């Protein structure tokens, strides 16, 4: 694991601590690396109206976009004991910004690396 991947893992674990998940107790943290080198953190935020829940990946991405970042290299995702891939909504939103690396970590620090195009090979594009 590279030093940068280790840093993303540590920051995703840190972000998970801020998750608001009173209904499922399923806490997720994400660390998104922008092309500028800035790392944006996100955690999932649940709502009693479940459809309004926002995943950690989208929180990190929306934070980055709101701060002017538009190109991304990688996102690390940490959900606790086992690695969990992003949901379809998160994959579609991330695909809008390119085919970045997705690093799925477990509690032992082991990880699997995917590209968005591998997990969502037919992403919707308005100009397709």
Express as a percent the part of the chain with pLDDT over 90: 95
CA angle 48, 54, 55 (to 5 degrees): 125
CATH superfamily of 3-119: Cytidine Deaminase, domain 2 (3.40.140.10)
According to the model, what pLDDT value does residue 92 have?
98
According to the model, what pLDDT value does residue 128 have?
60
List pLDDT tens digits, range 76-92.
999 998 999 999 999 99
Instruction: Decide which of 14 and 81 is more confident.
Output: 14
Active site residues: 57
Report the binding-site residues: 55, 87, 90
Average pLDDT, the chain: 96
φ/ψ region of 62 (left if φ > 0, alpha if ψ in -120 to 50, else beta) reads alpha
Report the binding-site residues for Zn(2+): 55, 87, 90
Task: Give this prediction's pTM.
Answer: 0.95
According to the model, what pLDDT value does residue 113 have?
97
User: What's the half-sphere exposure (Cβ side, CA atoms, 13 Å) at 99?
Assistant: 10
């Amino acid at each position: 694991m590279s030093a940068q991947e280790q840093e993303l893992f540590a920051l995703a674990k840190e972000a998970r601590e801020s998750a608001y998940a009173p209904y499922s107790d399923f806490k997720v943290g994400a660390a998104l690396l922008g092309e500028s080198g800035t790392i944006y953190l996100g955690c999932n935020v649940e709502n009693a109206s479940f459809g309004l829940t926002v995943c950690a990946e989208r929180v990190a991405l929306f934070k980055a976009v709101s701060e002017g970042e538009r190109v991304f290299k990688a996102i690390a995702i940490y959900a606790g004991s086992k690695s969990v891939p992003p949901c379809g909504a998160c994959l579609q939103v991330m695909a809008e910004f390119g085919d970045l690396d997705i690093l799925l970590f477990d509690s032992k620090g082991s990880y699997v690396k995917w590209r968005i195009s591998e997990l969502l090979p037919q992403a919707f594009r308005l100009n397709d």
